[in-house]
């Protein structure tokens, strides 16, 4: 039987060799990103110096030409916005009104960030004190279990306290969208970094009790808090080259330009059609037309947002901190499955989710059921996304829970035999989902704005109102 299979394989080798090599190459690229394989274990993060994908692509003159085409689109959008603003309002705005509203009370955001940053230093001293006391106790004694339990309770209280503190402060300070999403994202980011540090210290102490005193200084911990990585290590790959401040300046200049591009796009495409919702009737057909008509703009929005945060922002800080491991994303735009798209979109966050959610579920809870760990990853990711977005827009709208937990799990299991069809459908669904999210959030926002009520309760924060406006 095996002999016949071998003969049949040999006969067809000439036609299948290239397909096989290409599939192996794709699988290797999907698996080996910033992680390495250990025998009889799951994938483990490795640290080495690498450039971001766009940095390498921009060395190709043809990709630079595509970049310049994008710049031409940006200039065209600015000129169109300039003519529109002057002809309608006799002013030159270029999206400034929306940006200024989004940056409302930015000084309060800085104060909140400083408060949350100092709170995030507590895990450093807490882990250090826990290790010191635990080393003096007898192993496997009742005192050790009691001390571990008290320390765990303290850490859980600290983590939920950070989230509650961010929730309360952001609701009371009335921040703009950019200020709110920055403060909310930083709260979640610092909390997740603290968890990574605690897990690293606890694992090392339990595996190697004699190394309890090997605790890096506070400077290294602060470097970890601001570095573009979510996994704590005793050392990171550092660049020996001098900091290129002109490159940092270009990153921030592009960052500001894309902020205004997103503002112009959102103002001209979504706000123009939805700002009167609640004041005039819009049918379901009208809303569906807006969603499908703006799917292309949704894809542009996601492309610009990805380049803004995961390339410009992270590379700017990586350059300033001489952080050499800059592979923050992969070529998600060429993915043929949603599973690969979710994995390659944001490697920085996915490393944390893989290490502390997926791996824990596979190794400790459900080793034979791979769907449940995947669902847990989607749940955790969607919860934090909706937490940040809800605080930024001022009301709860579970767009990411529906997107990731419902559509994400389903779409990640769907595969098409043709890679071209799969990639095109993937890109379209990315744009369509972005259009749905932006449209639904805009409907809710303008419904609340146009039918404002006094003395809003906590229930009003969680209960959507856009259905009431439709009625």
Question: Which are the catalytic amino acids?
Answer: 385
The phi, psi pair for 35, rounded to 5°, reads -130, 155
**How big is the chain by its Cα radius of gyration, in Å?**
25
Rounded to a whole number, what is the largest CA-CA distance in the chain? 82
Q: Residue 157 contacts by C-beta under 8 Å, 6 or more apart in sequence?
A: none
Dihedral sign for Cα 319, 323, 325, 330, please. Answer: negative
> Do 218 and 124 contact (CB within 8 A), yes or no?
yes
Dihedral sign for Cα 421, 424, 428, 433, please. Answer: positive
> Do 126 and 184 contact (CB within 8 A), yes or no?
no
What CA–CA distance (Å, rounded) separates 176 from 275?
17
> How far apart, in Å, are the Cα atoms of 1 and each of 13, 123, 179, 342?
18, 61, 66, 41
Q: Residue 257 contacts by C-beta under 8 Å, 6 or more apart in sequence?
A: 74
- CA nearest to 202, candidates 156, 148, 162: 148
What CA–CA distance (Å, rounded) separates 301 from 176?
19
Q: Residue 4 contacts by C-beta under 8 Å, 6 or more apart in sequence?
A: none
């Amino acid at each position: 039987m095996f002999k016949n299979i071998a003969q049949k394989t040999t006969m067809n080798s000439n036609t299948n060799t290239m397909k096989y090599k290409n599939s192996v190459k794709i699988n290797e690229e999907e698996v080996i990103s910033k992680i390495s394989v250990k025998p009889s274990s799951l994938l483990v993060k490795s640290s080495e110096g690498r450039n971001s994908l766009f940095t390498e692509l921009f060395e190709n003159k043809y990709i630079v030409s595509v970049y310049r085409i994008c710049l031409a689109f940006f200039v065209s959008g600015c000129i169109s916005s300039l003519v529109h603003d002057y002809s309608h309002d006799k002013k030159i705005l270029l999206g400034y009104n929306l940006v200024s509203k989004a940056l409302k009370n930015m000084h309060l955001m800085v104060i909140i960030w400083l408060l949350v940053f100092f709170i995030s230093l507590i895990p450093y001293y807490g882990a250090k004190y826990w290790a010191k006391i635990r080393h003096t106790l007898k192993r496997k004694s009742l005192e050790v279990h009691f001390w571990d339990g008290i320390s765990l309770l303290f850490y859980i209280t600290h983590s939920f306290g950070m989230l509650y503190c961010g929730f309360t402060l952001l609701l009371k300070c009335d921040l703009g969208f950019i200020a709110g999403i920055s403060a909310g994202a930083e709260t979640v980011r610092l909390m997740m970094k603290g968890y990574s540090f605690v897990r690293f210290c606890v694992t090392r102490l339990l595996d190697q009790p004699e190394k309890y005193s090997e605790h890096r200084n506070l400077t290294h911990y602060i470097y970890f808090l601001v570095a573009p990585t979510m996994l704590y290590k005793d050392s990171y790959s550092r660049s020996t080259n001098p900091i290129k401040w002109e490159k940092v300046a270009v990153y921030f200049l592009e960052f500001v330009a894309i902020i205004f591009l997103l503002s112009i796009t959102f103002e001209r495409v979504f706000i123009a059609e939805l700002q009167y919702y609640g004041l005039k009737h819009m049918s379901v057909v009208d809303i569906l037309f807006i969603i499908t008509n703006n799917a292309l703009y949704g894809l542009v929005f996601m492309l610009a947002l990805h380049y803004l945060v995961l390339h410009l922002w992270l590379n700017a800080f990586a350059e300033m901190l001489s952080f050499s491991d800059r592979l923050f994303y992969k070529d998600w735009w060429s993915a043929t499955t949603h599973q690969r798209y979710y994995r390659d979109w944001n490697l920085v966050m996915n490393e944390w989710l893989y290490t502390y959610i997926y791996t824990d579920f596979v190794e400790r809870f459900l080793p034979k059921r791979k769907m449940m760990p995947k669902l847990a990853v989607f749940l955790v990711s969607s919860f934090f996304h909706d937490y940040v977005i809800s605080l930024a827009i001022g009301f709860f709208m579970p767009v990411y829970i529906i997107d990731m937990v419902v559509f994400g799990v389903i779409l990640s299991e769907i595969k098409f035999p043709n890679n071209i069809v799969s990639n095109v459908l993937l890109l379209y669904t990315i744009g369509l989902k972005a259009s749905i999210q932006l449209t639904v959030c805009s409907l809710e926002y303008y419904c609340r704005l146009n039918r404002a009520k006094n003395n809003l309760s906590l229930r009003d924060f969680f209960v959507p109102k856009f259905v009431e406006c439709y009625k």
